[in-house]
Amino acid sequence: MSTNHLTARVGAEPTWTLPWTVETSQNVFSNYDTSSGFTFTMTLTNEAGTDVVTKTTGITGADGSVAIAIAVDELEIAAALYTLHLRARETATSKDSDYSPESPVTVNIIP
């Protein structure tokens, strides 16, 4: 399954793991290590641009990836296509880094 397109059923409890790299020099990418010292915010946004789900717990960083564990009732939303946004905040500096793969991550919520 492509990490740029995720599918889940309404009310499901999936865990999504997204690879996260950063460009360290021109066309050179390295794993982004978010394994400690970071907090995360994930949102699912509908086609109108409204945040339908905002999640700050159950998100775990690693060296080169972030796992998002969806809990009970967090996907009790309308079946539709959403865009996933993920932000990591470095706690020591309050610097935000947005997950920005080559193409947006879409989440298809199905009945």
Say which CATH number the domain at 73 has.
2.60.40
Domain residues for 41? 5-110
54-100, pLDDT tens digit by residue?
A: 999 999 999 999 999 999 899 999 999 999 999 999 999 999 999 99
Residue type, 2: S
Q: How many residues does the chain have?
A: 111
Structure-block tokens of residue 97: 């880094």
pLDDT for 102 = 85
Question: Over 90: is that where the pLDDT of 32 sits?
Answer: yes
Tally of domains in the chain: 1
103 or 45, higher pLDDT: 45
Measured distance CA(48)–CA(58) in Å, rounded: 26
pTM of the model: 0.92
Question: Over 90: is that where the pLDDT of 1 sits?
Answer: no
Residue 66 burial (10 A CB sphere; 0-12, 13-18, 19+):
buried
